[in-house]
């Protein structure tokens, strides 16, 4: 059973209706590492509904949190100086660097939110700032203030240094400087919390003393209290979250106790997950080590990201590399699809796993019949020589990539080719990028040995006499070299020399297949004169 289904079955033992939460602090660009939250929440919702339950998933923007560090790209040059003044200020109150966006939050969150539909993710979106300012959080805040001693005792169990006796679980928004991270709340009465703006380790305070009305969003609960308060307010029954919250004594451990003892609520079922690294580096919004949903859609299909997330257990580390590793990801997805439709055998256990992962990878409904896919490796080559859509489809059908294609097949093929066209110049290694030599390179003619010329002559004759699929052609070149007593790499080297003017290039079978047949035959013959 897939882990998503196990989560759904566990939830159904607790009841039929569920609310699955996800969210992130809008501290910079929201990257694919943050997608575990919302994709898992949506996946659990789907599984619940398939099993007869009812579920709602939401994504919560922690946009009322204070800015602790200036994120990339605002931390460079003149922008860095401009944004220093906003350290400690709630994200929602920080201006956008681009006038097209309303504020800091809109600048970083809108591209992510608008992309969710492209990935088949169906969630309700909440704004933390809106919830506080609307007064919805006033009830939980009052309870937390009334039971501050109990909360302090819970938190002190996991602290090396105890919280002060007058500590309150509330961060007031300074009326004078607009900072949230610099205030210390010490007493309260009615709807008001008294505070001093004393400063923090990353933002200076202004010294102001005042009162904040917690019913009007003039401050917020501290994180370890806000999280369980949010569970109660929104009725959360399940929540995926990063492994840092799941450590012993972490915010989930304290949240469970606060939820039960302060808010009288059972903590949601936890689904902790590991981080996603990018090219061997941990993703970081502040450092600019990011890969966003819009960036993904430029080079890869949305189903591929869903597959990337659901193919392994959530606590297994995930590594994404938009370079060569993306080719393997495409190959894996295509193989899984072939297994799903019974085109390839993989063993009963693997087939069951592949079928479920494939279903979870789909944006909406699972296709009812086999899908014709153009291998991405071939698409990467074809994208560098295609002139127009009509010619492209002609090449794909003549090379056996598409057979009597439907409109849907053609749509998928063109989508993959567009991804490949974007991928090649930005992420493909040099050997996969090419430009066909307009004339026979003079150096190639000088360097070819007699054996290489013999191989090229025979290859030209073979291509002239029959049609090959890209795979068949690649294998044929191997066999031809062995037949004439030439080392296989030497024949491949000769092919690249006469067509590209260099000794290496993309996979030869695919490369030759995308070129005009008569052109290839003519060039190979010319090289052997």
CA distances from 450 to 116, 491, 525, 528 (A): 58, 11, 13, 9
| Reported pTM | 0.93
pLDDT at 462: 95
Determine the angle formed by the axes of helices 35-50 and 302-310, rounding to 10 degrees. Answer: 80
For 447-483, the pLDDT digits (tens) are 999 999 999 999 999 999 998 999 999 999 999 999 9
Q: Between β-strands 238-242 and 269-273, what pairing exists: parallel, antiparallel or unpaired?
A: parallel
- Tell me the average pLDDT of the chain: 95
pLDDT at 444 over 90: no
Q: Judge if 1-136+224-365 and 442-528 fold alike in CATH terms.
A: no
DSSP assigned state of 188: E
Of 193, 184, 182, nearest to 144 by C-alpha is 193
For residue 252, report the phi and psi dihedrals to the nearest 5 degrees. -75, -40
pLDDT at 225: 98
pLDDT at 387: 81
Domain residue limits, the chain? 1-136+224-365, 138-221, 376-432, 442-528
pLDDT at 247 over 90: yes
Q: Could you tell me the fold of the domain covering 1-136+224-365?
A: Rossmann fold (3.40.50)
For 370-406, the pLDDT digits (tens) are 999 999 999 999 999 988 898 899 999 988 889 999 9
pLDDT at 354: 94
- Distance from C-alpha of 79 to C-alpha of 508, rounded to nearest angstrom: 48
Q: What angle do CA 175, 178, 179 make, to 5 degrees?
A: 115
CATH class of the domain defined by 442-528: mainly alpha
- Distance from C-alpha of 412 to C-alpha of 396, rounded to nearest angstrom: 12
For 29-85, the pLDDT digits (tens) are 999 999 999 999 999 999 999 999 999 999 999 999 999 999 999 999 999 999 999
pLDDT at 169: 98
For 318-367, the pLDDT digits (tens) are 999 999 999 999 999 999 999 999 988 887 788 999 999 999 999 999 99
| Beta bridge pairs of residue 272 | 241
For 151-188, the pLDDT digits (tens) are 999 999 999 999 999 999 999 999 999 999 999 999 99
């Amino acid at each position: 059973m897939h882990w998503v289904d196990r989560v759904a079955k566990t939830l159904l033992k607790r009841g039929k209706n569920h609310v699955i939460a996800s969210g992130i602090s809008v501290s910079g660009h929201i990257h694919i590492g943050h997608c575990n939250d919302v994709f898992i929440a949506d996946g659990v919702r789907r599984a619940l509904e398939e099993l007869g339950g009812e579920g709602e998933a939401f994504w919560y923007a922690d946009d009322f949190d204070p800015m602790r560090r200036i994120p990339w790209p605002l931390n460079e040059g003149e922008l860095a100086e401009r944004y220093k003044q906003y350290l400690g200020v709630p994200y929602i109150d920080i201006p956008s660097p681009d006038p097209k966006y309303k504020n800091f939050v809109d600048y970083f969150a809108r591209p992510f939110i608008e992309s969710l539909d492209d990935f088949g993710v169906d969630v309700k979106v909440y704004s933390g700032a809106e919830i506080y300012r609307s007064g919805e959080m006033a009830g939980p805040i009052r309870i937390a203030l009334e039971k501050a001693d109990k909360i302090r005792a819970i938190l002190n169990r996991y602290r090396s240094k105890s919280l002060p006796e007058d500590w309150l679980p509330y961060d007031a928004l300074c009326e004078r400087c607009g900072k949230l991270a610099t205030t210390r709340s010490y007493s309260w009465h009615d709807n008001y919390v008294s505070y001093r703006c004393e400063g923090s380790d990353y933002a200076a305070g202004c010294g102001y003393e005042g009162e904040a009305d917690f019913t009007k969003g003039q401050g917020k609960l501290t994180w370890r209290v806000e999280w369980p308060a949010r569970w109660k307010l929104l009725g959360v029954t399940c929540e995926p979250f990063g492994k840092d919250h799941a450590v012993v004594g972490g915010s989930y451990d304290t949240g469970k106790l606060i939820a039960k003892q302060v808010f009288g609520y059972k903590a949601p079922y936890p689904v902790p997950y590991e981080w996603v690294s990018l090219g061997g580096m941990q993703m970081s919004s502040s450092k600019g080590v990011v890969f966003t949903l819009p960036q993904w859609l430029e080079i890869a299909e949305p189903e591929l990201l869903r597959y990337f997330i659901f193919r392994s257990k959530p606590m297994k580390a995930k590594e994404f590399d938009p370079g060569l590793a993306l080719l393997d990801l495409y190959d894996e997805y295509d193989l899984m699809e072939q297994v799903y439709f019974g085109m390839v055998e993989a063993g009963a256990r693997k087939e069951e796993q592949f079928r479920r992962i494939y279903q979870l990878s789909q944006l909406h409904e699972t296709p009812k019949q086999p899908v014709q896919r153009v291998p991405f490796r071939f698409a990467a080559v074809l994208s560098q020589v295609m002139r127009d859509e009509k010619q492209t489809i002609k090449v794909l059908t003549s090379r056996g990539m598409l057979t009597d294609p439907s409109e849907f097949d053609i749509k998928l093929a063109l989508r993959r080719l567009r991804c490949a066209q974007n991928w090649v110049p930005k992420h493909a290694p040099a050997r996969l990028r090419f430009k066909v030599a307009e004339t026979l390179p003079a150096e190639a003619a000088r360097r070819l040995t007699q054996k290489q010329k013999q191989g090229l002559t025979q290859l030209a004759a073979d291509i002239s006499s029959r049609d090959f699929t890209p795979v068949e052609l690649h294998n044929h070149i191997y066999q031809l070299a062995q037949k004439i007593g030439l080392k296989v790499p030497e024949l491949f080297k000769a092919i690249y020399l006469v067509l590209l003017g260099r000794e290496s290039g993309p996979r030869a079978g695919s490369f030759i297949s995308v070129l005009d047949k008569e052109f290839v035959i003519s060039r190979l013959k010319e090289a052997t004169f």
